[in-house]
C-alpha cells in the first residue's frame, strides 16, 4: 500500500500512526498484500473519506474499483443516502467486492457494474458529485475527458497513481507512463478544473470543477 514518493521513514510513520481499521477493511488490506491486489490503502482512503464529507458528496462514480476497498470508504462517507457506483472489468473482483460490501453494511448504497469503466460511465444517467479515476493508466487521458463532463459544478475529480512510482519524471517507457504524464499535463491546463497533486503513497490529484 505504501508508495515510493516520500522518504521511506516518513512513509512508515504515516502508516504506523493510523488508527486500526475495522475487521472488514483489515481483511481487505491483508488480502491485497497477500495477493498483490492494488488498493489505495488506509492513508489515502482516509483522505477520500474526508473529501467526500467536506464536499457533501452523495453521488459518486468509481472508474476502477478492484475488490471495493475505496468503495467502502466512499459509501461510509456518503452516508445512508449515498449512491456509489462500483466498476471493475473482472467479474470475480466484483463478486468478491459484493461480499465485502455486505459485511460492511453498505451494500444498499452501491451499484455494482462490470466491464470497461469508461463505457459504464456512459451507461449511467445524470451528473456526479465526485468521480474517482483508477483505471488502467493508458486510459487516464480519455477517462479525464469523460469524467469532467459528468461532474456537477463544484464536484470533485479524484485520481490515484498520478506520480506513478516516480516514473512520470522520466522519459515514458510504456503506454501506462505516457497515459499518466498526459493526464497530468492536460489536467493542469483545464480552465474548468482547479487541480492539486498530493505526494501521498503513489500520488493523488484532486480537482474541483468550476
pLDDT single digits (tens) 29-65: 999 999 999 999 999 999 999 999 999 999 999 999 9
Residue 4 has pLDDT above 70, yes or no: no
pLDDT at 6: 73
Mean pLDDT of 103-128: 97
Mean pLDDT throughout 16-36? 96
pTM above 0.85, yes or no: yes
pLDDT score, position 3: 58
b/e map 118-129, b = 16+ CB within 10 Å: bebbeebeeebb
pLDDT at 78: 98
Domains and CATH numbers, the chain: 8-209 (3.40.50.150)
The answer to whether the beta carbons of residues 46 and 1 sit under 8 Å apart is no
Phi and psi at 145, nearest 5°, equal -60, -45
pLDDT of residue 8: 85
pLDDT band at 118 (very low <50, low <70, confident <90, very high): very high
**In three state form, how does the secondary structure of 8-45 look?**
HHHHHHHHHCCCCCCHHHHHHHHHHHHHCCCCCHHHHH
**Residue 173 to residue 190: CA distance in whole angstroms:** 26
Q: What is the pLDDT of residues 181-193, one digit of tens each?
A: 999 999 999 999 9
Q: Please report, rounded to a whole number, the percentage of residues in the chain having pLDDT higher than 70.
A: 98
How much is the average pLDDT of 87-95? 96
- pLDDT class of 136 with cuts at 50, 70, 90: very high
**Do residues 43 and 25 make contact, with C-beta atoms less than 8 angstroms apart?**
no
Cα separation, 96 vs 155, whole angstroms: 29
pLDDT averaged over every residue in the chain: 95
Amino acid at each position: 500500500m505504501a508508495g515510493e514518493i516520500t522518504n521511506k521513514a516518513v512513509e512508515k510513520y504515516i502508516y504506523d500512526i493510523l488508527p486500526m481499521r475495522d475487521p472488514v477493511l483489515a481483511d481487505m488490506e491483508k488480502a491485497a498484500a497477500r495477493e498483490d491486489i492494488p488498493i489505495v490503502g488506509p492513508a489515502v482512503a482516509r483522505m477520500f473519506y474526508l473529501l467526500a464529507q467536506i464536499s457533501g458528496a452523495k453521488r459518486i462514480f468509481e472508474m476502477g474499483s478492484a475488490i471495493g476497498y475505496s468503495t467502502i470508504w466512499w459509501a461510509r462517507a456518503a452516508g445512508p443516502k449515498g449512491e456509489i457506483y462500483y466498476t471493475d472489468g473482472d467479474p470475480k473482483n466484483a463478486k468478491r467486492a459484493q461480499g465485502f460490501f455486505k459485511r460492511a453494511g453498505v451494500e444498499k448504497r452501491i451499484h455494482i457494474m462490470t466491464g470497461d469503466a469508461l463505457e459504464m460511465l456512459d451507461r449511467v444517467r445524470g451528473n456526479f458529485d465526485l468521480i474517482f479515476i483508477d483505471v488502467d493508466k493508458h486510459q487516464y487521458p480519455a477517462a479525464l475527458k469523460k469524467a469532467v463532463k459528468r461532474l456537477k459544478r463544484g464536484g470533485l475529480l479524484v485520481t490515484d497513481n498520478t506520480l506513478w512510482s516516480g516514473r512520470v519524471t522520466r522519459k515514458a517507457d510504456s503506454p501506462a507512463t505516457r497515459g499518466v504524464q498526459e493526464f497530468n499535463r492536460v489536467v493542469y491546463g483545464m480552465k474548468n478544473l482547479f487541480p492539486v497533486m498530493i505526494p501521498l503513497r503513489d500520488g493523488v490529484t484532486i480537482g474541483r470543477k468550476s
